[in-house]
Homo-oligomer: A and B are copies of this chain.
């Protein structure tokens, strides 16, 4: 086994840069090893975000390092999509332990490269640091034509709540643990490499006046819905489960409560939850269908004495994984 520590810093950077970095585009001038890149604005507004992960926290037992690299990039661009933007480029900073197997670093970079090609997001540069444990920080530059990209708050009673993406497999992992999940091929398949739908970003920027609030699902659907409801000072009444794999429908024998239990748990599905003014709902749904994005109208925003998430008329309290206190 050859470790990262066997290489010099410049060799490590050359390895990463050679594999990952995007060349200069038309009208651009700077490229590796320059410390900044020049980019021409593609829309009247810039969207700017940053996401970071300790690699271990993304490392499900069935995820290889390439899957982790893929997942990290997917999570980072998902923030731009949820705000109605097109992710254009990113910068990647890595913390690398010298004892890391070079092969694993190479796999990580490969997975990130695959994601950058799949989403057509350019990797423009970054930084590497020696570190006790592996971490990655990804900053994304996106563009939007939306004058007021939807925030997390802004739902009004009566708004339809649209949820894109497929839910349940990660809820299965949270509920039953890694060992049981490992035996369920559908759970492994659905969670190995989460997928964000860029088309949702186009739709939100197009109908930004009809989209009253939006947020991507990184910490679980229940937590996302609850956060949006509380920030919007209203309730979200859930009537229908979102899309789930057929295997979960079978497991639940189609029972809506069972499906919701799995779907509201979980995390890292990177779908988007957004509110739509009722008079625009048909138009927005037609576009989601047009782009083949999986979605469900799971309920609506309602008046509520106590803002939050309501399932079958009862307040549902969603937990979120807490970085500093574990599940909270």
Contact = CB atoms under 8 A, between A and B. Distances in A.
Nearest to A322: B9
Given A30-B83, A91-B139, 10 more contacts: A8-B322, A12-B324, A31-B151, A33-B152, A36-B80, A40-B46, A52-B93, A127-B137, A137-B137, A139-B139
Interface stretch (A128-136, A258-266, A290-298, A305-313): A128-136
A52 B152 CA distance: 29
Interface in A131-152: 131-133, 135, 137, 139-142, 144, 147-149, 151-152
A182 to B, nearest CB: 25
A171 interface: no
Q: Closest 7 A-B residue pairs measured CB to CB? A: A139-B139, A50-B91, A137-B137, A52-B93, A35-B79, A36-B49, A93-B137
Given A30-B149, A36-B142, A38-B83, A127 B51 contact: yes
A161 interface: no
A204 B324 CA distance: 44
Contact of A89 (B44, B48, B92, B144): B48
A254 to B, nearest CB: 34
Nearest to A124: B48
A127 B50 contact: yes
Interface residues of A, number: 74
A266 to B, nearest CB: 18
13 contacts: A7-B325, A31-B151, A35-B51, A36-B142, A41-B46, A48-B124, A50-B125, A50-B137, A52-B127, A91-B139, A128-B323, A131-B133, A133-B133
Given A52-B93, A126-B50, A34 B139 contact: no
Nearest to A218: B35
Contacts of A9: 322-325, 328
Contacts of A96: 324
Contact of A83 (B35, B142, B323): B35
